Amino acid sequence: MIEHGFSYLALLIFIASSIVYTQTKTQHKLFDYLPAIVIIYFVVMLASTFGVWQKNDSITTTYKVVKSNLLPAMIFLMLLSADMRQIFKLGPKMLLTFFLASLSIALGFIGMFIIFHSYFDTNAWKAFAALSGSWMGGTANMVAIQSALNLPDAAMGYTLLIDSIDYAIWVMVLLALVPFAKKFNQWTKSDTSIIDEVGKKLAYKEAQKKPIDFASLFFLLGVALMVSALAQYQASFLPTTSFLTGTTWVVITATIAGIFFAMTPLAKISGASELANIMLYIIVALIASRANFSELSQAPLYIFAGFIIISIHILFMLLFAKLFHLDLFSLGIASLANIGGVASAPILASAYSKALIPIGVLMAMIGYIVGTFGGLMVGVVLSKIAL
**pTM given for the model:** 0.77
The residue with greater pLDDT, 112 or 367, is 112
* The pLDDT of residue 164: 73
* The pLDDT of residue 207: 55
Residue 30 has pLDDT above 80, yes or no: no
Identify the three-state secondary structure at position 136.
Answer: coil
Counting the structural domains of the chain, the total is: 1
Residue 122 has pLDDT above 60, yes or no: yes
> What does the pLDDT average to over 166-188?
85
> Residue 368, Cα to own-chain centre: how many angstroms?
7
Of residues 333, 254, 39, the one with CA closest to residue 163:
39
Pure H helices in the chain: 5-26, 30-33, 36-49, 57-79, 84-88, 92-116, 124-135, 139-148, 156-176, 181-188, 193-207, 214-235, 246-261, 272-288, 299-324, 328-339, 345-352, 357-386
* End-to-end CA separation in angstroms for the chain: 42
* The pLDDT of residue 222: 95
* The pLDDT of residue 309: 95
Mean pLDDT of all residues belonging to the chain? 84
Per-residue pLDDT reduced to its tens digit, 206-248 = 555 677 889 999 999 999 999 999 999 998 888 877 666 787 7
* The pLDDT of residue 218: 94
pLDDT above 70 as % of the chain:
91
pLDDT above 90 as % of the chain:
28
Identify the three-state secondary structure at position 267.
Answer: helix
**Which residue range(s) make up the domain with 345?**
5-386
